Structure 1
């Protein structure tokens, strides 16, 4: 300071320029500070959507519509938007119909949307969130996901279960053959019953090592026990992520305003009646030493035999029961639904049916049945299955992803706790992505270079197995079941419409938005040697 004073006394002519510079700097700083304080930060807005009511949000509008999913799509169409925000209670529901936006959620911000909502149905079905698919993000989910990937559906375990899958594929042929040869049925086959029971038989076989809970039928079909079990399984699937009022206003749980809770509990009691005794008996066998690792035959044995670091059982009985059920639920609906719709579409377009059977005859021949080893070469059959998944998804929306933080995507704020739902129908039928989106065109999935068609779609132009942390880890078994089911039905039988039916209407969904109003009933005629249909 003394140095500056001495300098100014010796050089007074330098004082005013220095003073002026300091003054200007002071004024500039003041002005910048005032400007920064006066400019309010721009807060990103929520995606467009209907104006919500206080407290209840848009729940009254949802309840007034028989189909919440159609109502949501109608809102998005009227607003001409690929992303919307609909407040149900205090929950922001964010539907998306654009693959680019969907990828931003599930690829760029995957870690932020890796949780699941707590809902009435998922709580009951998962025994208090003890499983993989529906459990919110946390240590329990990490534990079960690791088991699922490493222990249940590794490549080794997939190969280990091949014989069980083959057994059910052979029983499928036997059952359909007997149905279409039954003079009382006039060759008519209910394809929905066929496909659903095949998938449930297969999952029961690989999880519990049994096809039938009772005696079954001599024609290979289900007995009364299996019919009851399958109906209960598909009831649970119908409501697992349905729009339930109490999920958005938990204080209403128990009042069962929309009737969902009673139906879920009734279905669960049926499923537990058949599943739990098998599980409990098997656990006792492992405990009393009558079973050991060398005796393991199915997935249930694997779940029971897993040990922690202290050589104690890794899973509790409740965890085993819950995960066993979730495995069955996860494996039955997509393959059965895709096969039914693919055959329906191909009956409407016989030239597609002919092309598929020609591929099968060229690759497999007519002296044997389709095997899993044929799948890589059945590109057109896979293209038909993939097109059915695109045009006729099993559910309109995929399971919700829950945001764990406030996230800005594009110019929109996605609040913490939001439920992000990707529209399978909106993505698969998006006219900006697909040419002639409502037309069944399997060739759109064939590669110009002849490379292998796969059912997975990582770019989310359609949703088969999704992507990211919450993607279905059972891609291999899901693909195998779907292609084997469709391949066997197309290879083994000629299909045509039922009498007095000219065209099958395939774009109608039931009020639950999950299935068409009625099952496909068609004429099936064997096209191979009779001995090939014997199990």
Structure 2
């Protein structure tokens, strides 16, 4: 568990630690001040990613948005994504899609509750997130129903995040990378082939229906139409597939993981669950489902989300960056080509920053000194999406999806563990922080029957 070990080292050696990893220089930031120095003050110097097996073998040789160096390709991908997928207006335009998809989730859970069957939270939420992204980017639900295909996709996403988070010797001693001593790169290549086949199928099917979307293009239509717009850089089909891979991977498991951790914490603390439901009953009532417009009036729900971001950050060590030139931070010399990791997990559990940091306490974000802290990348005490120009591009979608989906699940159903089952809160490390044991819970519908009728 690298994030845990590095947090212990920070307690002993301080918030900025230098390590020699194989032939590579590495620095770890473990406090808000040091994180701000790297991600804001020196953002220009730490805006690129170091080479690694994941970018090479999974992300099409860093031809995507997440791993590409700052330059014409990255600028074009960012521009298209912000205008047509992630920007404020674009996000507002597909609100009806989110409401419809969440209706499918409520229906599926309601049916399970009537049958007395447990809900495997990460599976059903990953399916919903994939469908949301599919509808925006491809004008179609990726999985018509929650079932075998969506479970296979969930396995592929989890395996990708696991492999990307492993310590790969070849990343730190490049001269022996070709040996693939741990077999990690071979597994990455095989997984890449599966994703490539899936993406190629999606694109082929999308091309056949292009005539149906005249005048109402989706994200892939826009990207394909703008492949040769830039005079500096022209997108290839590899770039297009790599970009779609980014959205489906980064947009599914990350949000699903946060929602799973939040529900687990509320099942562990029934008082918090009850208080959240009481707030929603006052604002929404029990005759209809929660709507996105209700979220602004649910401060306790928002505090639960922020507390989950703090205690269970999606990417505990962030995605690494690398210095393009030598610099100085807090009096320490940082050589060129030094890899930077920001231990977001350690910052969220630092007793010098947070009172009773190991306690899940949403009330901490309702008191005056913390009320203005937001996870948007400006308050370095809480940076689950990173900071600077390389912060998560999908931050708007990520925060809103967590609030909307979690709020709907909590408002619509009571959650509890099946009889005889104990709640396991252990972590399983990967690039994304997973629960070691997926949350499986029984649910009881708590709204009036009429509230579910439109979905049943």
What range is the shorter-chain TM-score in?
over 0.9
**1:344-384 superposed Cα distances (whole Å, 9 cap, x missing partner):** 11112111111100111111111111111112222111111
Residue by residue, what CA displacement relative to the aligned partner does 1:393-447 show, whole Å, maximum 9, x if unpaired? 2232000121111011112111111111111210100110000000000011125
Unaligned runs of 5+ in 1: 1-66
Report which structure shows greater RCO (CA 8 Å, sep ≥6). Answer: 2
Q: Is the 8 A contact 1:305 1:313 kept in 2?
A: no
Deviation at 1:485, TM superposition (A): 1.1
Q: Which runs of 5+ in 2 are unaligned?
A: none
1:157-180, CA deviations, whole angstroms, 9 ceiling, x for partnerless residues?
112222221221111101111122
Q: Does structure 2 conserve the Cα–Cα contact (< 8 Å) formed by 1:116 and 1:137?
A: no
Pair 1:98–1:150, CA change in 2 (3 A): same
* Superimposed CA distance per residue, residues 16-72 of structure 1 (whole angstroms, 9 cap, x where no aligned partner): xxxxxxxxxxxxxxxxxxxxxxxxxxxxxxxxxxxxxxxxxxxxxxxxxxx344433
Deviation at 1:478, TM superposition (A): 1.2
8 Å contact kept, 1:190–1:522: yes
1:263-342 aligned at under 5 Å gives the runs 263-283=187-207, 290=211, 293-296=214-217, 298-306=218-226, 308-309=228-229, 314-342=234-262
Per-residue displacement from partner, 1:141-168 (whole Å, max 9, x unpaired)?
2222222223332222112222221221
Q: 1:432 aligns with which of 348, 352, 355?
A: 352
Pick the aligned partner of 2:376 from 451, 456, 474: 456
Identify which of 256, 278, 289 aligns with 1:358: 278
CA-based RMSD of the aligned residues comes to 2.5
Cα offsets for 1:175-217 (capped at 9, x unmatched): 111122224x3xx22222222222222222222222245xx5x
The SS at the match of 1:294 is coil
Q: Please give the alpha-carbon distance, in whole angstroms, between the structure 2 residues aligned to 1:102 and 1:445.
A: 21
Query: 2:440 maps to what in 1?
Result: 521
Shift in Å, 1:241: 4.7
Q: Is the 8 A contact 1:232 1:268 kept in 2?
A: no
| Cα separation, 2, equivalents of 1:68 and 1:313 | 38
* TM-score normalised by the chain length of structure 2: 0.92
Pair 1:203 & 2:128 matched: no
User: C-alpha displacement at 1:117, in angstroms?
Assistant: 1.1
| Counterpart Cα distance in 1 of 2:390 and 2:286 | 41
2:76 is equivalent to residue 155 of structure 1: no
The TM-score normalised by the length of structure 1 is 0.79
Q: 1:190 aligns with which of 102, 120, 138?
A: 120
Deviations, residues 59-110 of structure 1 (Å, cap 9, x unaligned): xxxxxxxx34443334333x33111111112211111111011101111111
SS at match of 1:95: strand
| SS of match in other structure, 2:28 | strand
* In structure 2, C-alpha distance between the alignment counterparts of 1:307 and 1:496, rounded to whole Å: 49
Aligned length: 453
Do the aligned partners of residues 488 and 167 (structure 1) sit closer, same or farther apart at CA in structure 2, a change above 3 Å counting?
A: same
User: 2:61 — aligned with what?
Assistant: 128
